[in-house]
Amino acid sequence: MRVVVVGGGISGLVAAYRLRTALGPELELVLLERRDRVGGILHTGEMAGEPVDLGAEAFVGRRPEIPALLAELDLSEQLVHPAGRRPLIWSGGTAHPLPERTLMGIPAGPEAVAGLVDADTLERITTEPTRPLRWERGGDVTVAELVGDRFGAQVVRRSVDPLLGGVYAGRAESIGVRAALPTLAAALDAGAPNLTRAVADALPPPSTAPVFGGLRDGYRVLLDALREAAAPKVETDTAATGLTRTATGWRVDPIGAVDAVILATPAPVTATLLGAVAPAAAAVAATIELSSSAVVALGLPADTPLPDNSGILVATGESLRAKAFTLSSRKWPHFAERDVALVRASFGRFGDDTPLSWSDEDLVAAAVADLSTVTGLPIRPQTALVQRWRGGLPQYAAGHTTRIAELESAVAALPGLAIAGAYLHGVGVPACAASGTAAAQRILSR
Ligand X SMILES: Cc1cc2nc3c(=O)[nH]c(=O)nc-3n(C[C@H](O)[C@H](O)[C@H](O)COP(=O)(O)OP(=O)(O)OC[C@H]3O[C@@H](n4cnc5c(N)ncnc54)[C@H](O)[C@@H]3O)c2cc1C
35 counts as binding ligand X under rule CB under 6 A: yes
Q: Where are the alpha helices (DSSP H) in 203-311?
A: 220-230, 267-274, 279-286
Please state, in angstroms and as integers, the Cα–Cα distance from residue 100 to each residue in 59, 66, 86, 266, following that order: 20, 26, 9, 34
79 binds ligand X (CB under 6 A): no
Q: By CB under 6 A, what part of segment 266-305 binds ligand X?
A: 266, 269, 293, 295
Among residue numbers 381 through 440, which ones bind ligand X (CB under 6 A)?
Answer: 389, 392-393, 421-422, 427-429, 432
Residue selected from 1, 23, 28, 34 as contacting ligand X according to rule CB under 6 A: 34
> Judged by CB, which is closer to ligand X: 92, or 268?
268
For the bound state, the minimum distance from the C-beta of residue 331 to ligand X, rounded and expressed in Å, comes to 11
Compare residues 150 and 323 and give the one whose CB is closer to ligand X. 323
CB of 25 vs ligand X, minimal distance in Å: 24
With CB under 6 A as the rule, give the number of residues binding ligand X.
Answer: 36
Stretch that binds ligand X, among 91-99, 132-140, 190-198, 258-266 (CB under 6 A): 258-266
Task: Based on the shown chain and the rule CB under 6 A, indicate whether residue 40 belongs to the binding site for ligand X.
Answer: yes
Asked if 33 touches ligand X (CB under 6 A), the answer is yes
Q: How far is the CB of 140 from ligand X (least distance, A)?
A: 21
For 5, the 3-state DSSP assignment is strand
CB 320 within 8 A of CB 304: no
- Which residue type does 267 have? A
Rounded Cα distance, 72 and 264, in Å: 22
Nearer to ligand X among residue 121 and residue 435 (C-beta): 435
Count Cβ atoms within 10 A of the Cβ of residue 275 and give its class: 0-12 exposed, 13-18 middle, 19 or more buried.
middle
Does 364 participate in binding ligand X (rule CB under 6 A)? no
Residue 58 as a binder of ligand X (CB under 6 A): the answer is: yes
Pinpoint the alpha helices (H) of 195-305.
195-202, 220-230, 267-274, 279-286
Helix (H) or strand (E) holding 253: strand 250-253
What is the length of the chain?
Answer: 446
User: Which one of residues 122, 184, 225, 240 is an interface residue with ligand X (CB under 6 A)?
Assistant: 240
Write down the least CB distance from residue 42 to ligand X, Å.
Answer: 5
Query: Assign residue 355 a region: left if phi > 0, alpha if psi is -120 to 50, beta otherwise?
Result: alpha
* Binding span for ligand X by CB under 6 A among 125-133, 265-273, 329-337, 408-416: 265-273
* Residue closer to ligand X (CB basis): 121 or 310: 310
Measured from the CB atom, the residue of 11 and 196 that comes closer to ligand X is: 11
Number of helices followed by number of strands (H, E) in the chain: 17, 22
140: contact with ligand X by CB under 6 A:
no
Looking at the DSSP bridge assignments, the partners of residue 270 are: none
By the rule CB under 6 A, 59 interacts with ligand X = yes
Q: Is 12 in the site for ligand X (CB under 6 A)?
A: yes
Is residue 11 close enough to count as binding ligand X by CB under 6 A? yes
3-state helix, strand, coil in the chain (%, to 5): 40, 25, 35
Least separation in angstroms between residue 12's CB and ligand X is 6
Q: How many CB atoms lie within 10 A of CB 440?
A: 26
Name which of 384 and 429 has its Cβ closer to ligand X.
Answer: 429
Query: Taking CB under 6 A as the rule, does residue 332 contact ligand X?
Result: no
For 286-308, give one letter per residue: b (16+ CB within 10 A) or e.
eebbbbbbbbbbbbbeeebebbe
Residue ranges in contact with ligand X by CB under 6 A: 6-12, 32-35, 40-42, 55-59, 239-240, 264-266, 269, 293, 295, 389, 392-393, 421-422, 427-429, 432
